[in-house]
Amino acid sequence: MELKWEEREWDEDEFPRGASPEKFFRDSKEFANLMMMYKCAIREVRTKLEVLDDEFSVRYKRNPISSIQTRVKKPISIFRKLKKYDLELTPENILKGLHDVAGVRVVCAFIDDIYMVAALLANQDDITVLQVKDYIKEPKANGYRSYHMIVEIPVFFSRGKTPMKVEIQIRTIAMDFWASLEHQLRYKKDIEDVEGHEEISGRLLECADTISDTDRKMQEIKQMIGEFNDLS
Ligand code: GTP
Ligand code: MG
């Protein structure tokens, strides 16, 4: 089965308009336009990443980025998050209040590729970094590791440019392996409701630590072979 960037489905009675949130977003011109804008912002970020990867592969015969996944947040998740913040469902509230409507997940080969990609993106003068969460230096209690950035990028439309927020998650293949499987396990059932959930959480954490150890070892091997990716 293909591993996707999945979100929770919606319950029939959750959306107040008696229709699906997807249908509401599709039928409303304003919301459809907004979702189009987020998709465009994602394309801008993807292109920047692909350019960096292409340049790197010509220079160093190696790809620091092994894959890129993107997603626009599902209408129901947008609806739920606004509700959580006590905000009404309006395009302005989405633009101002949410920072993860557009998501880009970058899977890198080595740990230092993550920091290189993040720095090269942050240095581009049309990108503003609004927030960084380094869950590699400080992993979550459950073992989750990734480098998260919220950036703002201008997208040029017929009526001028609009700064759009994009959440970028950068992680190694190993971190992605753990996060994808952990998500799948959590997606099926609330782990807290399962008998022996402490044992399960403990085992998941153990896997995360083992994987992280392997990531570090691979990074060391790369350094032993030589600084073949020094961008100077
Ligand atoms: P959200 O409300 O979930 O967006 O949290 P947040 O705004 O505090 O952002 P954070 O940077 O902590 O996490 C954002 C995203 O990172 C999530 O939507 C997931 O895609 C991913 N993520 C964070 N924690 C975990 C985790 O424990 N496991 C997995 N598999 N993914 C995670
Ligand atoms: Mg989120």
CB burial readout 100-135, b (16+ within 10 A) else e: bbbbbbbbbbbbbbbebbbebbeeeeebeeeeeeeb
Q: Which residues pair with 104 in a beta bridge?
A: 70, 168
Rounded to an integer, what distance in angstroms lies between the CA atom of residue 98 and that of residue 157?
21
Cα 165 to averaged position of ligand 2 atoms, centre (Å): 13
Split at pLDDT 50, 70, 90, the class of 128 is very high
Rounded to an integer, what distance in angstroms lies between the CA atom of residue 26 and that of residue 22?
6
Pocket test for ligand 1, best of 73, 78, 183 (most atoms within 8 A of CB): 183
Cα 222 to averaged position of ligand 2 atoms, centre (Å): 33
pLDDT in tens, 16-66: 555 677 777 777 889 999 999 999 999 999 999 999 999 999 988 899 999
- pTM (2 decimals)? 0.90
Cα 15 to averaged position of ligand 1 atoms, centre (Å): 24
Pocket test for ligand 1, best of 7, 83, 146 (most atoms within 8 A of CB): 146
- Res 162 pLDDT > 70: yes
Complex ipTM more than 0.90, yes or no: yes
Angle 178-134-67 (CA atoms, 0-180°, nearest 5)? Answer: 50
Of the two residues 181 and 197, the one the predictor is more confident about is 181
Over residues 213-221, the mean pLDDT reads 97
Numbers of helices and strands, H then E, in the chain: 7, 5
Cα 63 to averaged position of ligand 2 atoms, centre (Å): 27
How many Cβ atoms are within 10 Å of 60's Cβ, its own excluded? Answer: 13
Q: Which atom of ligand 1 is nearest to the CA of 142?
A: 27
Over residues 123-151, the mean pLDDT reads 98
pLDDT in tens, 183-203: 988 876 676 777 778 888 999
Angle of helix 29-60 relative to helix 111-122, nearest 10 degrees, comes to: 120
> Whose C-alpha lies nearest to ligand 1, atom 7?
100
User: What is the per-residue DSSP string for 75-132?
Assistant: HHHHHHHHHHTT--S-HHHHHHH-S-SEEEEEEESSHHHHHHHHHHHHTSTT-EEEEE
**β-pair type (147-157, 128-134):** antiparallel
Going along the chain from its start, the domains and CATH numbers come out as 12-173 (3.30.460.10)
The answer, yes or no, to whether any atom of ligand 1 lies below 6 A from the CB of 133, is: yes
The answer, yes or no, to whether any atom of ligand 1 lies below 6 A from the CB of 140, is: yes
What value does the mean pLDDT of the chain take? 89
Where residue 143 falls (left for φ over 0; alpha for ψ -120 to 50; beta otherwise) is left
